[in-house]
Structures are given as structure tokens and as C-alpha cells.
Amino acid sequence: MNPNVEETQRQILNLLDTTRRETRSILSPLDPERIVHTDERAWRVRDVVGHLAVWNGEAARSLKANAKGEKYYCVTSNGKYDEYNGPAADERRTWTTDRVWAEYEASHDQLKSIVETMPVEKWAGNMIFSWKERGTIEQFIKRMMKHEKNDHCDLIIKATGK
């Protein structure tokens, strides 16, 4: 394996592990029914966990497609996020907290597994992200983990004072 690709892959795997650990430590102690995003949906902790699980699953699908030389995305443009997020969140609202966390863990496992087995030649090229933007695998995973940490976990810390 190319030493640069190997180092990038190692860093991305570390980022995935670190983000998952931090998310668990921030969200799992909280009451799963506590409202933490006060938009029109009033997302609870477990809704956020479900949202993160869904998006990590979509990222895994995009990476699998990329590994095969194909394209996959679930959102066709920036203005279409709510059309995707709303139904995905609504579907999980009736799930148990254990089921939501299980999906979160499984989606992270899928993401990590695909990163571990991604062909070397795919690391240098661009791919289609789940939301139809383009960039490298490294950029894609960094954006996904930034979404998890900054857009959700950090905001929840501020909202709860934890």
C-alpha cells in the first residue's frame, strides 16, 4: 500500500473511532427523551442518535458505490435535506432507544469496515458524497464526523450544559 494512503487511512480510522467514543460519552448519559434541538421537530437525544445513524449508513452506501466505481447519493441538492431528514427521523421516532443505538453502532461499523477495505486507487480520486457534492474519501469522512461532532454533539453540550 502507498505510505501516504496508508497514513491517511489510519488517520481516518482514528477519526471514526474517536468521534464514536465522544458521541457515546456525550449522548448516552443523557435522558433519551430530552429535547435537545428545538426546531419544528423538537428532536430528542434519541432522535439525534437516529439521525447520525442514518447519515453514517448513507455514507457507507456512498463509499461502497465508490469502491465499485459507481455513484450513490440520497439528497439531490442542498435544498433537499429536509425532504430526506424529516421522513428518516419520523421513521425512527417509534423505535426503542436500544434499537436506535444499535443502528448507530452498526452504521459506524459499516463505515469503518469500508474505509479499511477501500481500494488504494480510490483514495486519490474524487467521489460523489451522499448529498451529491464531490471530494475525496478523506474529505467525505471528515465532513461526516464534523457533522456528528460540531453540528450535533457540540450543540447538545451547549444546550444541556454538560
Question: Going residue by residue through the chain (162 aa), what tens digit of pLDDT does each one get?
Answer: 577 999 999 999 999 999 999 999 999 999 999 998 877 778 899 999 999 999 999 999 999 999 999 999 998 877 787 788 888 888 898 999 999 999 999 999 999 999 999 999 999 899 999 998 999 999 999 999 999 999 889 888 887 876
**How many Cβ atoms from other residues are within 10 Å of residue 40's Cβ?**
8
The total of other beta-carbon atoms located within 10 Å of residue 78's CB is 9
CATH code, domain carrying 113: 1.20.120.450
Q: Are 51 and 85 in contact (CB under 8 A)?
A: yes
- Model pTM? 0.92
Q: Are 156 and 45 in contact (CB under 8 A)?
A: yes
Number of domains in the chain: 1
Distance CA 20, CA 62 (A): 19
Range of the domain at 60: 3-160
- Does residue 80 sit in helix, strand or coil? helix
Please report, for residues 11, 51, 54, 64, 66, the alpha-carbon distance to residue 48 in angstroms, rounded to integers and kept in the order given: 26, 5, 10, 24, 27
